[in-house]
């Protein structure tokens, strides 16, 4: 049995572990395709979410305007309807613009 001193040990470990290698091209292509799918899925989910919020808030607020017992409540619901619609339209436009920017980079 041979003694291994600190210096030799360092050298052995460096020699054995220093090499680095690149992943094969297929692994990288698959990875990039997965990232693109993930990105599209994320954008789709966001658009779906905002569409559902858009319809739900509209239904609630229109019902408020129709069924409101006093003119004050009707006005409050009408104001909410306008504000929420403007907000949702602006956020949807921002999302669609971001998606277009993301898509403009040809990942593959």
Partner 1 sequence: MNLNEFENFIEDNQKDIYTFCKKLAINEEYAKDLYQQTFLKAFSMIESIDKMNNPKSFLLSISVGLWKNYKRKHKRRGEIAPLVYIDDETTCDVKDSFDTEQKVIENETIECVKREVSKLPDKYKVVIILFYNQELGIEEISKVIKCPCGTVKSRLNKARQLLRSRLEEYV
Q: Which is nearer to partner 1, 39 or 78 (CB)?
A: 39
> Going residue by residue from 54 to 73, which x/- string records binding to partner 1, judged by CB under 8 A?
--------------------
Q: How far apart are CA 33 and CA 23, in angstroms?
A: 15
Among 7, 21, 66, 69, binds partner 1 (CB under 8 A): 21
Report DSSP letters for 4-57, one per residue.
--HHHHHHHHHHHH----PPPHHHHHHHHHHHHHHHHHHHHHHHHHHHHHHHHH
Residues that bind partner 1 (CB under 8 A): 1-4, 9, 12-23, 27-28, 30-32, 34-36, 38-39, 101-102, 105, 107
């Amino acid at each position: 049995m041979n003694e291994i001193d600190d210096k030799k040990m360092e050298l052995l470990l460096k020699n054995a572990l220093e090499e680095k290698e690149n992943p094969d091209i297929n692994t990288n292509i698959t990875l990039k395709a997965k990232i693109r799918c993930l990105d599209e899925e994320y954008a789709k989910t966001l658009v779906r979410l905002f569409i559902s919020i858009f319809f739900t808030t509209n239904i609630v607020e229109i019902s408020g305007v129709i069924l409101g017992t006093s003119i004050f409540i009707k006005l409050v619901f009408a104001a909410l309807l306008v504000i929420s619609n403007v907000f949702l339209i602006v956020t949807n436009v921002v999302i669609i613009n971001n998606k277009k920017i993301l898509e403009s980079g040809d990942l593959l």
